[in-house]
Amino acid sequence: MWLFITLAVGCAQDFRKAPLPDDWRGPGWGDDTDGGPVGDTAPPDDTVPPDDTDPPEDTGDPPDTDPPPWDPQACYPGPSGAWTTCVDLVDFSSSWGSDYSYPDPYGGSAQYAEPLRFVDLSAVDPNLALAANFVLDEVMQEHKGRYGVFQTHVIAHMQAIRTASGGSINVNSGYRSPAYNASVGGVTHSRHMYGDAADMSPSAVSLDRLADLCDAEGAGYIGMYSTFVHCDWRDDALDPAFYDGTRDSEPAPLPVHTAHIERDIAGALIAPATGFDEGEPYRRWRAFDADGALLRQAIGPSFSPPLGTATVQVEVGRQVAVELRL
């Protein structure tokens, strides 16, 4: 808040009309008997230090006020969690060719903007510890693309998940270049290409528990497969180290999944599904009697309900659930 102060100027007076008394300066002034200064006596010349310093040479050039050039880096938590493990980044170049040809943003979402900067994996130690329990080579490998992206906040989420799980986490897939993603049958807009997705297998907890931990860490999408869990943070603000730091006001589009229940040639129930591009989805089956009491539950690609079953339910990939009345 601005404070405005108004100075008032009073009526002008001619103070010269009334002569000042001789002692107006007070004691010590105008009295040459006490050793004090008299009138406007100047201080002795020897109290003014000589200035022998030469004036600076005028070169005619203005001072250099430009900031030093910015060296873009991505800084990760590192082994101690101090966020001081930094790697240099390089700007995207069209000379990299079609291997880094990103698709147009999915549904027009800004969350699917192509990265602006990358890690040159040929110039970084693959064993660099990005967090207490994860090294660079676990989330970015040069054979999946010389230039990689893995957002720094995702490593922090992964470390929190690993700590909560109480055991090691195997990362099946982290960053994929667009070319590598296409070579393994990934969907066109796989979040693996944007550096905020990881396919993980736990050593100390179940897949269900791992999925719960991803949910607790705010994952925007969780897909469960028969041997691993896909977790991504597609709704988080894009890491400004790799992007421009914007975040779409709307949630990022999700995959479309479908499933239904039918019998195979042996009479067992199966649940064909679509929308799971990374393998066989995880299926949890439950059988209920006519009163709604649970008779049996199982995990697997097929299910044989016990006698007395009236209804069968199956949850597929943690994304879609269907029911069949027998």
Instruction: For residues 110 and 185, state if they share a domain.
Output: yes
pLDDT level of residue 71 (50, 70, 90 thresholds)? confident
Instruction: For residues 84 and 182, state if they share a domain.
Output: yes
Instruction: For residues 191 and 78, state if they share a domain.
Output: yes
Instruction: For residues 206 and 321, state if they share a domain.
Output: no
Q: Is residue 138 part of a domain?
A: yes
Q: How far apart are CA 231 and CA 130, in angstroms?
A: 18
Q: Contact 322/301 with Cβ under 8 angstroms?
A: no
Is the pLDDT score of 264 beyond 50?
yes
Write the pLDDT tens digit of every residue in 197-235. Answer: 999 999 999 999 999 999 999 999 999 999 999 999 999
For residues 256-277, b (16+ Cβ closer than 10 Å) or e, as one string? ebebebeeeeeeebbbebebbe
Q: How far is CA 272 from CA 60, 223, 258, 317, 326, in A?
A: 79, 16, 8, 11, 18
Q: How far apart are CA 316 and CA 311, in angstroms?
A: 16
Instruction: For residues 83 and 224, state if they share a domain.
Output: yes
Domain of residue 181, CATH code: 3.30.1380.10
pLDDT level of residue 56 (50, 70, 90 thresholds)? low
Which of these ranges, 20-34, 151-165, 236-250, 263-277, has the smallest mean pLDDT?
A: 20-34
In the sheet that 117-120 helps form, which strands lie side by side, from edge to edge? Answer: 90-91, 117-120, 147-148
Of the two residues 8 and 134, the one the predictor is more confident about is: 134
Write the pLDDT tens digit of every residue in 98-132. Answer: 999 999 999 899 999 999 999 999 999 999 999 99
Which of these ranges, 33-42, 80-89, 155-164, 269-278, has the smallest mean pLDDT?
A: 33-42
Spatial CA neighbour of 268 closest among 208, 237, 314, 232 = 314
| Number of domains the chain is built from | 2
Q: What was the pLDDT predicted at 244?
A: 86
* CA–CA–CA angle 278, 106, 318 (5° rounding): 40
Q: Is 314 helix (H, G, I), strand (E, B) or coil?
A: strand
Q: How far apart are CA 265 and CA 253, in angstroms?
A: 37
Domain encompassing residue 156: 73-232
Residue 324: strand pairing partners? 312
pTM of the model: 0.78
Share of the chain above pLDDT 70, in %: 79
Q: How far apart are CA 174 and CA 91, in angstroms?
A: 21
Q: How far apart are CA 126 and CA 104, in angstroms?
A: 31
Those residues whose C-beta lies under 8 Å from the C-beta of residue 280, and which sit 6 or more positions away, are 225, 226, 301
Q: Is residue 127 part of a domain?
A: yes
Of the two residues 118 and 67, the one the predictor is more confident about is: 118
Instruction: For residues 131 and 212, state if they share a domain.
Output: yes
pLDDT level of residue 300 (50, 70, 90 thresholds)? very high
Read off the amino acid at residue 231: C
Average pLDDT in the 297-316 region? 97
Instruction: For residues 215 and 273, state if they share a domain.
Output: no
Q: Is residue 32 part of a domain?
A: no
